[in-house]
Structure 1
């Protein structure tokens, strides 16, 4: 790791394991003489010198999910997309639990797949959230069901172009066969175009139109229409408790994944009705003096935060800004119109967002240096009936180790308001 060991908090791990660690600098190229292959963490780009040299010398470079696939038993369900991956993975995990299937929700959701392979059998299902970074390092990784939820611009600082980002996402079905299933969002033009690229059997889901085959909404009901043209009722839309149209799309994807994995509709219905969402994604934190606080720290790109803003039905005091990933923030700012009453900005992109907002005639803006200042200021200016929404539209790494840390600090500061 290029970070000094003092910043990594891994001394206990180092002391308990027999391995060589290199910290605070790039590893020397000479180390390649000692190794057989490289397993790359998702945060490590493939264009650093040691990776490029390894590839040049035909040393295998793979991601953790590729290694896990090679070592695991059971079947793999791989879920990717720009937004909604964690919510959908969690939802499918809960559906499998409801049906008492042997399964693990793993991957980019926070639990490495490698940590569960020793517990797997041929009957185990791995429900794997996979990012573009992880897919960059696959070779044989073969899910029997893959799902692409949506694709909008993100991580362009890593992938350089939108075309490359799309290519990395499409690798999720790279090794599928006609016996496998690829689940795609008909409402997203890029994911819909994958129907002509995947080797797998295509199943669509749509929030906006009825389908001859797939999962869709009709008369405010979630419907499955299968290959036999049976029209199967799953549940009323009102059973989906998590806010926002985007979360309804996530539910449709979860229904499609689960149904085609063989889960009974009764189990799908029960789990959806119980599902209350996941941390850091439009997560209700508290209501204090009539002011609601919502943590959407997982809003790490503009599209995700736009969905959160659209889901709010009250005047918004928005806390936004973070690391600059090279995303176009103009659509994010346009979504503030008639929704955001006051804008509080922090992080690397604070000036960029401020300039765009003022260009749209938005002048209720406060730049702050910390989350503590943001929360205190938001509470001081809030009126009863307002919602204070943390949805940064940007990554967290300029100020925090992760979006989870950012969200947890926000929640802790909101809790402190009651003291």
Structure 2
């Protein structure tokens, strides 16, 4: 039964998630209003015409000042929009339910959910799990924070379909009844402190991934991460640990340089050798372990899992090799949007590095990031809002080969001049992209375009 028909719903934020949610709600017969802080002239004219044809109330560049008059039953929040803005709080006080697109998708669609979260590795693990599921012959949608709105697929799913879903803390904090068959928590390190304020708040948002799971569901968790393990006391699902550092009594781990699964009957299954993986770095081994555990405990055979792991070549904008010019390699890690992600990138690169970093400030601390240079980083090219902040941290730690640049093109051209044959020019910003770009993908594409100009 359609419980949304005739409901008054405000959709906040007109990114991919918000647009998809508004379109789905209109199809379901809800009375929809939409809001975005951008002014009307900054919004796609075709989108505005679409909403007008549907008699949608549009608030572009102005906040709704008649919340009580709207009689809202529900507010659907886009992930990037803070929950504490005044008109949202007013809507909540007036009785509106505040949820997100992920929650709506779960309510209106069918299918089984795999939900994957963590500070880093979400996209790689989600994409890899999607590949394994598809290779196993399952009807699979790879959705969520990976770039495809969940609701754009949930509206057409069948009971036996799988939605392999990358979920961010922003998406999870607006869930209420969302319940995946299998959830996974890859790691927790400080991120989005401008929004969550404390690591505890951030971790609790991540923990919502398993809040509604039951004993017949599975929760895959990184046994090497103490912040993840702190959350287990509240988990009712069957806990499946994975580890790259220790032998486990149950779960997925490394044994004699093999990725193995040990099941409930203590039987050990070989998946593949660690050096069979094409994705570099210790963090990608963790991603592979998580993906293997998710897939095995969803009922996929070890041969299929092993074959898929050996074939997987990674995702765009995450340690993506972009070519070589005069012996200098270029690697695009634009998805390194926090210090810990970029630390993992530095650890994965062999040889000397000319590092391009900087961007939007999420109130991150860059001390550990600078410490991770370990004499591998020879020059630091900085751009964006955090350039001076990172520069000061580096200088305080004794690193002085720093170059402030006005844009990406200057970073690439000057970085290339500083590099020697055998070096790597690495874009791994340790920051979000929102000060200069609309998304990390746009930043990565610009980096690649700058490399292409060098080759000419």
Same fold? TM cut 0.5: yes
| Runs of at least 5 residues in structure 1 that lack an aligned partner in the other structure | none
CA distance in structure 1 between the partners assigned to 2:220 and 2:253 by the alignment: 13
Structure-2 residue corresponding to 1:39: 76
Of 27, 37, 46, which residue of structure 2 is paired with 1:12?
A: 46
Of 182, 195, 198, which residue of structure 1 is paired with 2:219?
A: 182
Structure-2 residue corresponding to 1:298: 335
Structure-1 residue corresponding to 2:171: 134
CA distance in structure 1 between the partners assigned to 2:435 and 2:192 by the alignment: 15
Alpha-carbon deviations, 1:315-370, whole Å to 9, x = none? Answer: 00000011110011111111113110000001111111111111222111100010
Q: 1:293 to 1:32 in 2, by over 3 A?
A: farther
CA distance in structure 2 between the partners assigned to 1:325 and 1:20 by the alignment: 33
Match runs of 1:228-377 below 5 Å = 228-377=265-414
SS at match of 2:306: helix
1:386 corresponds to 2:423: yes
Match runs of 1:111-130 below 5 Å = 111-130=148-167
Cα shift at 1:4: 1.9
CA distance in structure 2 between the partners assigned to 1:108 and 1:5 by the alignment: 26
Cα shift at 1:193: 2.0
Greater relative CO (CA pairs within 8 A, separation 6+): 1
Number of matched pairs: 418
Q: TM-score, normalised by structure 2?
A: 0.90
Cα shift at 1:94: 0.3
SS at match of 1:27: coil
Contact 1:29 1:53 in 2 (8 A): no
Bigger mean CA deviation after superposition, 38-47 or 353-362: 353-362
Structure-2 residue corresponding to 1:211: 248
The Cα RMSD (Å) is 1.1
Q: 1:29 to 1:302 in 2, by over 3 A?
A: farther
Structure-2 residue corresponding to 1:144: 181
Cα shift at 1:36: 2.0
Contact 1:215 1:224 in 2 (8 A): yes
CA distance in structure 2 between the partners assigned to 1:110 and 1:377 by the alignment: 32
Q: TM-score, normalised by structure 1?
A: 0.98
| Runs of at least 5 residues in structure 2 that lack an aligned partner in the other structure | 1-35
CA distance in structure 2 between the partners assigned to 1:374 and 1:35 by the alignment: 48
